[in-house]
Amino acid sequence: MRKNKHFARPALPRGRPPIVAVLGHVDHGKTTLLDFIRKTRVALREAGGITQKIGAYQVEVDSKKITFIDTPGHQAFSKMRSRGAKVADLVVLVVAADDGVMPQTLESLEHIRTAEVPFLVAINKIDIAGTDPEKIKKQLADNGIKIEGHGGDIVCVPVSAKTGQGVKDLLEMILLLAEMEEIKGSVEGPLEAVVIESKMEKGGPVGTMIVKNGTLKIGEQILVENVPTKVRGILNENGKNQTLVQPGQPVEVIGFESVPPIGAKVTKAEEVISKETPVQKTEKIEIPDEAKDKLKIILRADSKGSLEAVKESLPESVFVVFSGVGDILESDIFLAQTVGAEIVGFNVRASSETKKLGETEKVKIKIYKIIYELLEELEKESLG
């Protein structure tokens, strides 16, 4: 294996586990592969078997840690794949042996090239009868992915996420590529972290972030896109409290006044200037003339990433009057009743009181767990 020279990225201080994004087409087995590596059953819990938000996990391989970012494969989640590639030091591009190169495979490759991040390919599902990894390698080469043995130096590892065949080889190649890329980070350096997902929980806003350099501690003041925030709680990937985060580790951070923007850079606040919380004004919502004949909706989603994906994938025949992160509220019912809209939720809930109010005000409330079902039903309704 030769070092992948197509990409170069600036070195950081020494000593951090590699951050590896797993990209690929929908249903090609990215989450199942991580399941096998983590020895968990995440894929079975995913609605419709499709990963719908970024998950970040840290595993230990031969006493060395690797941080994995699992990104959605459905076409609606293009921006999530793009962010995963930008945060990562390395990418594993997963291609199913029975499907071969598909639209989101090529799109993922574009994200990899744009982010200038080194990558390797995992040909998954080789346990399926009749599959031929060599055919897939040729198909990859025909699409500009120059695999070793096919005119290039990109490493390709045949694997089965179901049986575990080849997974150890894949992990060894990840560690080898990480070593060759000289990925660095230090607990003694300045804090550098990135928000990869955010959501509204019952206790308040939560941001999922990965520390790339330095450390993060409970009680510290941090700056998220220059907005001061005090770290009031830290949860690891298993939901357990911890007080200190080291480079390479993914965690959920509690303490934000509002849901932090995805992709936001996080640094340590040397000097925090106190400021009053601005009073939010209630603005009159006006429906533009061109939207008056469209299906009008109030949209709620469980995270900023999901909200973004749904909004960008909606058909032209649907107009979003208002959108927000978090469960459906009674105020949403009143707004919907006023403007003649229905309420659409994605991975959120509505309390029994809210549902009852919706019935009283004759406002439709529809909640979905699978994005393509949401999009298909709204398209049918808006065109019907």
The confidence score (pLDDT) of residue 73 equals 43
- What does 175-197 look like in DSSP terms, one character per residue? HHHHHHHT----TTS--EEEEEE
Q: How far apart are CA 312 and CA 296, in angstroms?
A: 15
pLDDT above 50: residue 8:
no
Q: What CATH code would you report for 289-383?
A: 3.40.50.10050
Q: How would residue 71 be classed by pLDDT, with cut points 50, 70 and 90?
A: low
Beta bridge partners of 235: 241, 252
The confidence score (pLDDT) of residue 198 equals 86
Token couple for 290: 């061109």
What residue spans of the chain are helical by DSSP H?
A: 30-38, 42-45, 78-87, 103-115, 133-142, 167-181, 304-313, 330-339, 352-360, 371-383
Domain boundaries, the chain: 19-181, 192-268, 289-383
Q: How far apart are CA 112 and CA 131, in angstroms?
A: 26
pLDDT digits (tens, 9 = 90+) for 99-135: 999 988 898 888 888 888 899 999 999 999 989 998 9
The confidence score (pLDDT) of residue 291 equals 83
Instruction: Please state, for a pLDDT cut of 90, what percent of the chain lies above it.
Output: 39
**Cβ pair 325, 259 in contact under 8 A:** yes
Instruction: Give the CATH H-level superfamily of domain 192-268.
Output: Translation factors (2.40.30.10)
Are 19-181 and 192-268 the same fold in CATH? no
Token couple for 322: 């208002």
Task: Check residues 324 and 62 and name the one with the higher pLDDT.
Answer: 324
pLDDT above 90: residue 79:
no
Task: Compute the average pLDDT of residues 236-254.
Answer: 89
Residue 24's CB is within 10 A of a number of other CB atoms, namely 28
Q: How far apart are CA 303 and CA 306, in angstroms?
A: 5
Q: How far apart are CA 222 and CA 272, in angstroms?
A: 9
The confidence score (pLDDT) of residue 322 equals 92
**Cβ pair 264, 224 in contact under 8 A:** yes
Q: Which of 159-163, 181-185, 189-193, 360-364 has the lowest mean pLDDT?
A: 181-185
pLDDT mean across residues, the chain: 82
Q: CATH second-level architecture of 19-181?
A: 3-Layer(aba) Sandwich (3.40)
The Cα angle at residue 283 between residues 279 and 284, in degrees rounded to 5: 160
Given phi > 0 = left and psi -120 to 50 = alpha, else beta, which region is 18?
Answer: beta
Task: Compute the average pLDDT of residues 244-272.
Answer: 85
The confidence score (pLDDT) of residue 72 equals 58
CB hemisphere CA count around 193 (13 angstroms): 32
The confidence score (pLDDT) of residue 13 equals 39
The confidence score (pLDDT) of residue 127 equals 93
Q: CB within 8 A of 98, min separation 6: which ones?
A: 125, 128, 130, 131
Put simply, whether the predicted model's pTM sits higher than 0.75 gets the answer no
> CA distances (Å), 36 to each of 29, 43, 167, 323, 350, in order?
11, 10, 8, 37, 35
pLDDT above 80: residue 40:
no
- What does 218-259 look like in DSSP terms, one character per residue? TT-EEEETTEEEE--EEE-TTS-B-SEE-TT-EEEEE--SSP
